[in-house]
């Protein structure tokens, strides 16, 4: 069989063992296997491409440098996403002074909405992004992270609970709360059908 398939079958735990012994190839495989989801989570938390890439890189450096701290109680992906989430939220706190788009600006920013990427939604994709990230920006970091980990990373309630050190019930309550807030923001924006 081709080598690529053999790589796919190598469990993370085996790669971690090799990487701890200094195997560069194992480190690279762990990086490539998880960098995509790490990027998506960071982007959803920060709403900014360069900030997301910086946060992902910080997180991966920390994770790969401190693999001995991975105790195997959760999966490697969960452990890594905890580091990515913390790095992203730290980055978000640092850049909080940077002007952000508020939802009212996103609505009335004079953006032409005639070109629609998704006619069912009635708005251009870039405009939808502005509205969505303005809405996400109004959630507190732990609640935003709960929603992003569930909706973007498809994590189970149990894994999110382990990642955030909260009970499963709190995860579910946070998800409901986040939806209430996000949906009410979206409802207040004209143009989304």
Partner 1 sequence: MRCDEVMRELSAPGGLDESSLAEHLSACPRCMAWSAQVDKLNRVWNATRPEEPSSSAFDTMWAKTEAMVSEPEILPFVSASGWKRWGLALVTVAQAAVILIAGMYGLSRPTPAIASMHDYRVEEGTTLVVRLDGSRGVISAIEVRPQRGESDTDMVAADLDVLNYMESGPFE
8 Å CB contact between 56 and 80: no
State which residue, 1 or 120, has the beta carbon closest to partner 1: 120
8 Å CB contact between 16 and 30: yes
State which residue, 29 or 82, has the beta carbon closest to partner 1: 29
8 Å CB contact between 113 and 191: yes
Three-class secondary structure of residue 170 per DSSP = helix
The Cα-based distances of 94 to 38, 49, 97, 131 in angstroms read: 20, 16, 7, 22
Structure tokens at 48: 């900014």
Supply the minimum distance, in Å, between the C-beta of residue 145 and partner 1: 11
Supply the minimum distance, in Å, between the C-beta of residue 83 and partner 1: 13
State which residue, 59 or 82, has the beta carbon closest to partner 1: 59
Supply the minimum distance, in Å, between the C-beta of residue 24 and partner 1: 7
State which residue, 111 or 151, has the beta carbon closest to partner 1: 151
State which residue, 18 or 35, has the beta carbon closest to partner 1: 35
Q: How far apart are CA 67 and CA 61, in angstroms?
A: 10
Supply the minimum distance, in Å, between the C-beta of residue 65 and partner 1: 5
8 Å CB contact between 148 and 101: no
8 Å CB contact between 49 and 43: yes
Supply the minimum distance, in Å, between the C-beta of residue 180 and partner 1: 7
Which residues here bind partner 1, judged by CB under 8 A? 24, 27-28, 31-32, 35-36, 39-40, 43-44, 49, 52-53, 56-57, 60-61, 64-65, 96, 117-118, 120-121, 125, 128-129, 131-132, 138-143, 150-151, 157, 171-177, 179-183, 186-187, 192
Q: How far apart are CA 31 and CA 63, in angstroms?
A: 10
């Amino acid at each position: 069989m081709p080598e690529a398939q053999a790589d796919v079958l190598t469990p993370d735990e085996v790669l971690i063992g090799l990487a701890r012994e200094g195997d560069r190839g194992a480190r690279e495989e762990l990086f490539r296997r998880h960098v995509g989801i790490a990027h998506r989570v960071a982007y959803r938390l920060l709403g900014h491409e360069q900030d997301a890439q910086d946060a992902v890189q910080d997180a991966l450096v920390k994770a790969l440098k401190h693999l001995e701290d991975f105790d195997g109680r959760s999966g490697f992906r969960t452990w890594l996403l905890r580091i990515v989430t913390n790095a992203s939220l730290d980055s978000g706190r640092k850049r909080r002074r940077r002007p952000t788009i508020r939802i009212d600006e996103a609505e009335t920013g004079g953006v032409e909405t005639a070109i629609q990427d998704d006619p069912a939604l009635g708005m251009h994709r870039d405009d939808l992004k502005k509205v969505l990230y303005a809405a996400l920006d109004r959630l507190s970091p732990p609640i935003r992270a709960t929603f992003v980990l569930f909706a973007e990373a498809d994590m189970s309630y149990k894994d999110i609970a382990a990642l955030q050190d909260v009970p499963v019930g709190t995860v579910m309550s946070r998800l409901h709360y986040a939806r209430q807030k996000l949906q009410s923001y979206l409802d207040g924006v004209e143009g989304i059908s």
